[in-house]
Amino acid sequence: MRYYCSFLLAPVIVACFSSCITTTTLADPRATVVREFCNKTKDDGPGAVWANNFVVAFDNLNSDLEQKGWGVTSVGQDPITFYALVQCLEDLSKVDCTLCYSEIRSLLPKCYPEIGGRIYLDGCFMRYANYSFFDEVMDSLDTSVCSSSNRSSDQQGFGSAVNAVLSNVTSLAVKSNKGFAVTSAFRSTKFAAYALAQCWENLNTSSCAACLSAAAASVAKCAPAVEGRALFAGCFIRYSTTPFWNSEDSASSFSSKKRVVLWTVLSSSVGLILVLIVSVLAWKKKKACKAGEGSLRGLYGSELPARISISSLNYSYKDLKKATCSFSVENKIGQGSNGTVYKAVLPGGNEVAAKRLFLNTKQCVDQFFNEVDVISQVRHKNLVKLLGCSVDGPESFLIYEYHFNKSLDLFIYADDQNRHLDWQQRFDIIFGIAEGLCYLHVESETRIIHRDIKASNVLLDQKLKPKITDFGLARVLCADRTHLTTGVAGTVGYMAPEYVVHGHLTEKADVYSFGVLVIEIVTGKRCCGSTGSHSGHSLLAEVWHSYKTSTVEKIVDARLQQEVRPFDFEEITRVVQIGLLCTQANPDERPAMSRVVELLRDRDGARGDAEFVLGDPPFFEVEIDVGGGVDGEACKLLP
């Protein structure tokens, strides 16, 4: 929508505005950043695990925010647990709250890999750390932010109004059941002050009172500045010379009588009306610019690849928002490596999967285009089909074909009998993944290394056929190169030893990940826990020991052993052999994926077991530490 303003139209505007003002409210998400703090201490633990917790926590908070306007979460286990809190101010509508949080989501991840950060916007707040801070009321970062402009006349009278309004608003907020209040104070017709106070929901009444009292004393020192804000660990206070909150949502604190007085003054002043209109236009423009900053267009500008911008690959952000019911929790179907996946029903009834990306660095944008470039070049029955992308909105999306059964991890780790996979289904999935990787390594026009093969990156179609997805970390290996040297990026437990230690990347890194996944499918256990510990090593060690002692039946998923139809135990043992062979410490001892396909196709083992000569388990030879990476690719795990 375009807006036009002319002084010749001022009387008409005033008349229309006056007649509509009782039923129309100009909402504002107040997404202006007041201040952002990033801790100086960097993550020195398993960085990939911390970053993964970062992603999950942001997604959890997004769900809470949509339901109740605030949320707290903790992800992982100490000492690398990710604790986070987010809250919108009480007067924001659900839509405005979502918009405000979108700004947080695009800005606060820039603190990573610092292990703590907080950001104050005029409409919302978020904080995260590696310890539980939910009981903290005040801390060393508490501060006040004062505007640079002052009241020029009778500063004492204005200061008196500020003190009065701060006293009133803190008292009202403590008495309310939401720790929130807005109010105003007048010392004369010339001096008025308006204030808002908000405690975070994690505080009890006494803690809220203590925080607001200290915050009010702090921000009162801003007077005679026309505006001041107190930014405390447990609360937020703002005062101004003009009302700044969304009045319809704060009716309980902003009385009807005061609203009538306010709108009477506004409707009688053409100058103020014009100022208000110009302010709205400026806010609209600022909002549009802000939206562009977080999008691919904002980051790439004219460099945005024309083939995406003007081709059939491009989807409209507006259409996707409508197709996902504004990205509702009900339409969430999964969590990708760097974003959330939603089911979207497009005009015409077509169902697609839209992966909502959290892009805040050039490296992550490069990853986006890497995924588009790589997967748009390949076509195989065991690779997910990329339908397009969306780059014209405040957030960017990859659009894939939709698969009702979602991802493999929901089947092999779940206790739900409705998601049980029998042995034949598991074998077919293993074989299909092997064929897909073989295509990437050998049969496609370019040699592609996926780098993040795991159960959650394998989708299952209606017939439970596997589809490899998430190519954000994929790398193309040129014909004249034997390997790439690159920063470590991937998922703990699935990464090959030589890649973790030396950054030495070949197709054999995918072979190792595939071997780990095979063991998971057979055992029904995860290779590594949410703590990022070396539990993956323990699983491989357990399977390796069972194989060496001819007790493989002990590690087979118990659900398989309960099947009415007996399974081929010899075949399971052979598949375990292949999985262990793929996880050998020495990459030269691992078979190529083309050979793995041949071994799996030879289901009867007619060619003998000469190739299955396994040395010591690789998981005892190296100590895995993925805290770093030399090319910033840990962003793949950021929201």
- Sheet-wide strand order for 227-231: 143-146, 227-231, 235-240, 192-199, 180-186
> Parallel, antiparallel, or unpaired for β 70-75 and 458-460?
unpaired
Residue ranges of E strands in 76-179: 82-88, 116-121, 124-129, 143-146
Task: Supply 400's token pair.
Answer: 């894939």
| The one catalytic residue among 96, 452, 470, 557 | 452
Establish whether 355 is an annotated binding residue: yes
DSSP label at residue 110: G
Alpha-carbon torsion (281, 34, 326, 468), positive or negative: positive
Gyration radius of the chain's alpha carbons: 29
Closest CA to 125 of 11, 34, 1: 34
- Number of H helices and number of E strands within the chain? 19, 21
613 exposure class (CB count in 10 Å sphere: 0-12, 13-18, 19+) = exposed
Neighbouring-strand partners of residue 407:
459
> Parallel, antiparallel, or unpaired for β 124-129 and 116-121?
antiparallel
Rounded to the nearest 5 percent, the helix, strand and coil shares of the chain are 45, 20, 40
Give the N- to C-terminal CA distance of the chain in Å, as an integer: 31
Residue 401: how many CB atoms within 10 A of its CB?
Answer: 16
Provide the residue type at 100 as one letter: C
Whether 452 is catalytic: yes
Positions marked active-site? 452
Residue stretches of the annotated binding site for ATP: 355
